[in-house]
Amino acid sequence: MRKQVAAVLLCALLLALTACTSGTSTKDPPAASNSQNQPAANETNDPSTSPSNDPDETPAEDPTTAPANDPATTPSNDPSTTPDPSTDDPSTSPSNDPSNDPSTDPSTDPADDPSTTPEPGFTPPYTFEYPDAVRGIYVTGWSAGGERMKTLLQLVDDTELNAMVIDIKDDDGYITFKPEGELSQFGQAYIRDPGALLKTLHEHNIYPIARIVAFKDTVLAKKRPDLSYVLNGKVWRNGNGDGFINPFLKENWDHNIKAAILAAKAGFQEIQFDYVRFPEGFEKKDKVLDYSMGEYKDKKPAKFIEEEKAYAEAMAAYDAGLAPLQEAFDTAETAYNGAATDDNKAARDAAQKALSDYKKTKPEAPDFSEKARYTQLRVDAVTDFVQYAREQLKPYGVKVSVDIFGYSATLPEAPGIGQNFSRISENVDVISSMIYPSHWNDGYFGIKHPDTEPYRLVQEYAKREKEKLSALASPPISRPWIQDFTASWLKSGSYIRYGKEQVDAQIRALKDAGIHEYLIWNASNKYSANVNYTP
């Protein structure tokens, strides 16, 4: 009997143990079995480990070699750019598009990000001596991180060139290396090791300038439509497929400054902001696009304040001159009414003519319309950004330069895109006008086809720039961008093929005008041989 009871108890115990074990295995599968089916994030998203995203392993997509990006037809800081959406539009490459990563908001203040916060008494990793005069070339992130860099280093070593302008935030909005911190989501491993790059530049005594493309930013525009312009519910893009972010918004200022701080920390000696403007032709779209005015919504433009003061002073002076003339006429009129003699009539007529002539000099009231206000607020936003950027970058000891359309120096201002040459120049260390002969309309400066006369075009431009800069209390260094590409997109007969002779002509024209610094643009970084860089 005891054996039977024991057997029954033993069976019950075994059944209970089996049930417990079975319940555990069905509710909580081991974590290890799950992790085997989840590849690490850096194995799928990091271009440094993904062959499809590696510029060194995908030469067909390298903008220095892809036919769709040939600089002969598409210089990338050129408004005529027509990128191939299959390779240049981040919206077609979800795995590379930071806008698909909702984890980080770029709108926070730079001081909140430890990767961009300057250490007390910040000391750059390298010290570069400023050249006798900067003579530089443009270098893409692809080139700086690839095999072409060897050729470019050799070019600088063998010539009087001494500087490179290297993309750090490029025309799409990507950071051209993989930074830590908040901006990591925007990084692409075009430059695998920025520290090693700066070390190489230091060893070759090449003055390093970081190019930051400011308000042309397809990546951020797609990720944050509220920071861009919207049309019919979608992010607006220009005819070339480029997206832009809104200069009215301080969040966008800070986003660009964070990128600039990364460059400064890496050792770049100068930050060059490009696309510091609203999109071309914005004045024709500003009423159909949806966008925020930010802090500028209810502001009075700086020009309005200046014009109000000047108008008030002019009117006070006018009124002061008007009073005695009016009094003289009133006296002469009274005398004539009392005695209508010829002498009194002559005196009255003379007083009346003097009063009438003077009234024609009454100051004209400025245009304070809403249209004029919005126009001038664009100029304020662009100028304020430049001023703010320079202030934020002071702790890093870098120079600040801005690329600007050459025609902006020939006009009072270009308010459609928000560029005022003089106001921007007052807030930078270096001003770099893009004076490519191909960028001027036929007939400009009286030149039938500007692209065909590079020396004369540069010569005429330099006259206008000198007038503008000489009027400033502390003018910046003038360092124009010149052309080393063929503008074959222009109509036949209005362009010529560019090479040594044409580059020489532009440099010589600058020297003859007293301008000794310059930068040479070729979007694929293929530069003409045997150029005389110091005529």
Decide if 274 contacts 403 (C-beta within 8 A): yes
DSSP assigned state of 181: S
To the nearest whole number, what is the mean pLDDT of the chain?
83
Q: How much is the pLDDT for 118?
A: 52
Residue 20 has pLDDT above 80, yes or no: no
Q: How much is the pLDDT for 482?
A: 98
Residue 16 has pLDDT above 90, yes or no: no
Q: pLDDT (tens digit, 9 = 90+) per residue, 499-518?
A: 999 999 999 999 999 999 99
Q: pLDDT (tens digit, 9 = 90+) per residue, 130-142?
A: 999 999 999 999 9
What is the percent of the chain where pLDDT is above 90?
A: 77
For 476-524, give the DSSP string. PEE--EEE-S--TTSPTTS----SHHHHHHHHHHHHHTT---EEEE-TT
Q: Which residue has the higher pLDDT, 149 or 51?
A: 149
Q: How much is the pLDDT for 60?
A: 30
For residue 121, name the pLDDT band (cuts at 50, 70, 90). confident
Q: How much is the pLDDT for 29?
A: 32
Residue 100 has pLDDT above 70, yes or no: no
- Mean pLDDT of the region 418-432: 98
Q: How much is the pLDDT for 252?
A: 98
Q: How much is the pLDDT for 26?
A: 31
For residue 120, name the pLDDT band (cuts at 50, 70, 90). low
- Mean pLDDT of the region 172-185: 96
- Mean pLDDT of the region 490-495: 97
- Mean pLDDT of the region 220-248: 97
Out of 65-74, 305-314, 403-412, 481-490, pick the least confident: 65-74
Q: How many CB atoms lie within 10 A of CB 64?
A: 21
Q: Which residue has the higher pLDDT, 176 or 70?
A: 176
According to DSSP, the β-strands at 399-405 and 430-434 are parallel
Decide if 237 contacts 296 (C-beta within 8 A): no
Burial label for 529, CB within 10 Å (0-12, 13-18, 19+), is: exposed
Continuous H helices in 147-187: 148-158
- Mean pLDDT of the region 413-436: 97
Q: How much is the pLDDT for 343?
A: 94
What is the percent of the chain where pLDDT is above 70?
A: 78
Q: How much is the pLDDT for 38?
A: 28
Q: How much is the pLDDT for 171?
A: 97
Query: Both tokens of residue 179?
Result: 């930074």
Q: Which residue has the higher pLDDT, 392 or 89?
A: 392
Q: How much is the pLDDT for 37?
A: 29
Q: How much is the pLDDT for 77?
A: 47
For 373-398, give the DSSP string. HHHHHHHHHHHHHHHHHHHHHGGGT-
Residue 259 has pLDDT above 70, yes or no: yes
Question: Sign (positive/negative) of CA torsion 139, 143, 144, 147?
Answer: negative
Query: Both tokens of residue 463?
Result: 């006259």
Amino acid code (one letter) for 228: S
- The residue among 248, 364, 363, 368 whose CA lies nearest residue 304 is 368
Decide if 235 contacts 228 (C-beta within 8 A): yes
- Mean pLDDT of the region 272-293: 96
Q: How much is the pLDDT for 14?
A: 39
Q: What is the pTM of this model?
A: 0.77
Q: How much is the pLDDT for 28?
A: 32
Q: How much is the pLDDT for 368?
A: 95
Q: Hunting for tokens 């400064």 — which residue is that?
A: 264
Decide if 496 contacts 457 (C-beta within 8 A): no
Q: Alpha-carbon distance 306 to 176, whole Å? A: 42
Residue 156 has pLDDT above 60, yes or no: yes
Q: How much is the pLDDT for 98?
A: 37
- The residue among 248, 262, 251 whose CA lies nearest residue 212 is 262
